[in-house]
Each structure stands twice: as C-alpha cells, then as structure tokens.
Chain A
C-alpha cells in the first residue's frame, strides 16, 4: 500500500496534505494521486465492514478525500479523468428536505469512482426522470428521513416506469427509517440505511448494467 493510501486510511489529515503536495511538486501524474486516494478510501470501506471503523470514519475520510481532490482535480487535464464506474442520479425525494445521509453517500460514491448527479433535496419525480434520460444513468438512489417520502419514492419509481426507463434503471432507496418493507412498497430494487453497503450495492448494479 502506498504511503498516501495508508495515511488516508489512517485518517491522518496532515500527512495526506503533505504527501499530496509533495507528489504534485515532484510532478507525479495527478491521476495517480487520485487512484492512491481511492485506494485509501477502499481500505476505509473494508475497515468499516469489519467494524473497526464506524460512520464517523466514513465521514472523516470523505472530507479528507474531498479536500485532496480540490487540490488535485484542477491539475487533471481535460480527458485525463478516468472512466467512471457508472453514472448515477441521487436525490432526496419530494416532500423531504433532509440531506445529511444523501450527502455522505454521495461523497462515498464519488470517491468510489461514480459520476454522481446529485439533484439535491425535495426533488419531484419529473425532474429525476429528466435527469435519468439526460445522463443515461443506469442507477437511481433516493433518500428520505420521513414517512411522507415513501409516497414520493413510490411515485418516482412509477414515473421511471411510465417513462419506459425501468428496464435499464436500478433503484436503491435509503434513509434512517427505510426498511425492507419500505423498499418493497416503493418498488425499489434494493434498500439500505448503511452508507457503505449502499456503495457496494451500486457497484453491483453498475456491473450488472455493463
């Protein structure tokens, strides 16, 4: 494992900042720095699965990844970005304005190599369908913290169906009170209230879409 991946996995903010700067100054390919940071995030994910890390470590590493990318990304020349694992559309369902869970998952998905189109909070079904059409994304992730979001998620899945996209779009729903019952009720392909598991499910969906 590289020192940078190791420092990120160990949540050592100062060391990550130092190593990123050192590599940039030494003329290291910025894309290689991105790859090392992603490797660090993968290790964080493994430690989370083995229960050595908690949601807090996912949050801290996500913030560290974002900070590193803010330095590295401007140096990536056009066309240097790696091919994303998959595109996906992310939103908090209509009638719900909570964003914390969605934002954490969005950061982790980006770090895992997804091209995330985050539509924000309180997003109407029509807007979600439009974005799925525009991007061709094969995955839709919807978040909700309150029970009224269940109806909105259901309406959105129905709208995706009505637009003829359901055959190519997998739907995952999540949030504090989302359960298996809710997943079935809204017509989703998967549910979770675990951010890291959500990333794994999206990885599986991306593989299936190829």
Chain B
C-alpha cells in the first residue's frame, strides 16, 4: 500500500481543485444493488428496506477497508418539501419496474426504466405558460395517485434518510459529493416524452421545445440549490445522457443542451456548489465545450463509452475527471483485468491530479466482489508510472 499523507477528504478536494494528491482517490458510484446481493439479500429487499439496504453499503465499505468519497451518499433522494418536487420524482420513478414486483425483473435485478410518453406533445404549451413546477402541481393526478400531504411527507422522509446517509459517511471521514440530483431539461424531456418522440419534437417543433426548456430550467436550478441546502452537501449530481454526440449532432447540442448545462453549472458554482456531471453514453465529440463551464467547480464523470484519455487531454487543466470502469468488467471480468484497467487509468488520467477512480455508472448488481475489491485496492496500492 502507498504511504498516505492526506485524508480522504483532502485527497478528493485536491483532485477536484487540480492540486497534487498523494495517490488517486477512489469513489465508486455506489447504490444499494451490488451491496444487497453481496450481503445475501435480494435487491428487492435492499431497495424496500432502507436501514438494511444502506447498512449493506456501509458493510461493504468496511469490508474492503474503505474508499475515499461517496459521489451520492446512498440511495435516498434529495427532494425539496413541495408537491412539484415529489411529482417530478414520481414521474421518473413511476416508470421503473421493480425487482420482485414487476414482470421481467427478477428480485436480484436492478430496477429497470420503461420509457414511454408520459408527457404529450400538447403539454409543451402548458409547460411554457406555467413553468415546470406549475405544470407538475396542476397535473399531479396524471402522474401519481398520492395526495399532496402524502407527497410532502414522502419528500421529507427521503431527505431525512439522505441526510442520515451523509452523516454516516461524515463520521467515517468520508466526504459525500452531491446533496441534490437534477437532470438537464433535455434529459428530462427526452426520457418523459421517450427518445423517439422527443427526437421527432426536436425535428418538427424545435422552437416550442426550446421555449419549454427555457420555462423549466430556472425551477430545476432553484430546486437543486434548495435540496443541497437541506441535505448539507455542497454539490449537485447532474444527470446527462441524451444530449451528447452519441445521439445528436452538435447543432442540437449547441442549442438544446449546452446553454442549459452552462446556466445550471454557473448557477451552482455561484452558490459554491460543485457539479458532478454524470455522463452516460459517448460524449467525446462534446468535450471541448466543457472548457466553458466553471473551472474546478465541475467533475466530469464518464461511463467508459466516452474516450476518457481524450477527456484528460482536453479538460485535464480545467476540471476533474471521474470514471470509468466498464460495468462489463465488474460483472464478467477478472481481478487481474480490473487491476490492469485501473493501472492504465491511474497512469494516464490520474497522473499528478484531476482524477477520481470510479465505476462507470453505478456498480452493477451482479458485480463480482473480487473485481470490486481489485478496483479499490489498485487505487490504494499503485502509483502512476513516471
């Protein structure tokens, strides 16, 4: 093991601030699925029993001798105590099929998202007129059968859990990076209209889509800032997938995604909040634009489909990079392959500073423990080659 001269908190802060660290910090994007399975529970049980599920994460942390940070502190949601906030969350979670409850999803599987047109093309006009919060409150009954009181009680419970998760890590000297979770307007609309319908909207009624995004973005920003305040973690997890070069040409990114990413990250930075940009899919084409986002106030978190080495070249002096162990390596690879992959990342992306070794997206439910441990151990034992 490397002789450590920094605490986990100092090490992670050094990575984010692009200052030298004693070794590369390691922080898997961890939810309840893999720990539940490893601890002998079904994923269904872990998800529906918060105490046991969260304890499984803590147990696995202790068993591997710890890691350096939690990108998200656990698996609760950080929500503001408002009907619109609960409806927005319900609109996402309502389309999940849960392990052990729904057809096709075994009790050992992770929840699976079924994408369908929850918002209609007619909804754009009302979103433009009412903003997202006004729209969500007005149409609550379309998206959830819970009453306003029940929704608010649920949002408060989620935030309480979230805060207790954060406190557990605080007690272990481990920083949690994100106190709020939000999507870009494009990501939100794409998943709630469905990829195909939303792509046709961009083709047929681009001005209307843009106007709806303009009407939504301030509410998204305010909600995230408020949630981060409630959970006490100065960071926002910004979920991005659909706006990148895997799906769309740059002219779409430049008009419908990047201006909102910029507005959001700048607003968060102005409040002293770090933005961890969770990029699913390949964003290699879009990387140069990210230099326009607040320096040292963003982390670009990659899932192995974006070229992480290119990201280092382009963004290395501008923002920290996290990632990008492929899910398939965790589930069907070997510890030796894992070690070799992580060493290469540490050598090239992790040299000197600006890198957090992490899973590409969440650690999959069927990850092998020995592979997961190999990732953690490699960060703690391997120094970059000169």
User: Which A residues fall within an 8 A CB radius of B?
Assistant: 11, 13, 53-57, 59-60, 63, 95-98, 100, 103-104, 121-122, 146-148, 150-151, 176-179, 181-182, 185, 193
| Contact assessment for A55 and B114 in the assembled complex, using a CB-CB cutoff below 8 Å | no
B interface, size bucket:
35 or more
Contacts A56-B248, A60-B199 given; does A150 touch B109 at CB 8 Å: no
Known: A147-B330, A179-B326. 13 other contacts (CB 8 A): A53-B249, A55-B248, A57-B249, A63-B196, A100-B196, A121-B104, A146-B112, A147-B365, A147-B366, A148-B365, A177-B328, A179-B328, A182-B328
How many A-B pairs have beta carbons closer than 8 Å: the answer is 95
Bound Cα distance from A56 to B255, whole angstroms: 15
- B200 interface contact, C-beta 8 A: yes
A54 to chain B: closest residue by CB: B249
Bound Cα distance from A193 to B327, whole angstroms: 15
Contacts A56-B202, A97-B104, A179-B326 given; does A146 touch B114 at CB 8 Å: no
Q: List 8 A-B contacts (CB under 8 A).
A: A54-B248, A56-B247, A95-B105, A95-B109, A97-B114, A100-B115, A147-B327, A148-B106
- B158 interface contact, C-beta 8 A: no
B249 to chain A: closest residue by CB: A54
- B103 interface contact, C-beta 8 A: yes
B364 to chain A: closest residue by CB: A147
| Contact assessment for A181 and B328 in the assembled complex, using a CB-CB cutoff below 8 Å | yes
- B252 interface contact, C-beta 8 A: yes
| Contact assessment for A148 and B109 in the assembled complex, using a CB-CB cutoff below 8 Å | yes
On chain B, the residues within 8 Å of A98 by CB distance are: 112-113
- B281 interface contact, C-beta 8 A: yes
On chain A, the residues within 8 Å of B195 by CB distance are: 59, 100
Bound Cα distance from A53 to B194, whole angstroms: 20
| Contact assessment for B331 and A147 in the assembled complex, using a CB-CB cutoff below 8 Å | yes
| Contact assessment for A146 and B364 in the assembled complex, using a CB-CB cutoff below 8 Å | yes
Bound Cα distance from A55 to B364, whole angstroms: 26
| Contact assessment for B365 and A181 in the assembled complex, using a CB-CB cutoff below 8 Å | no
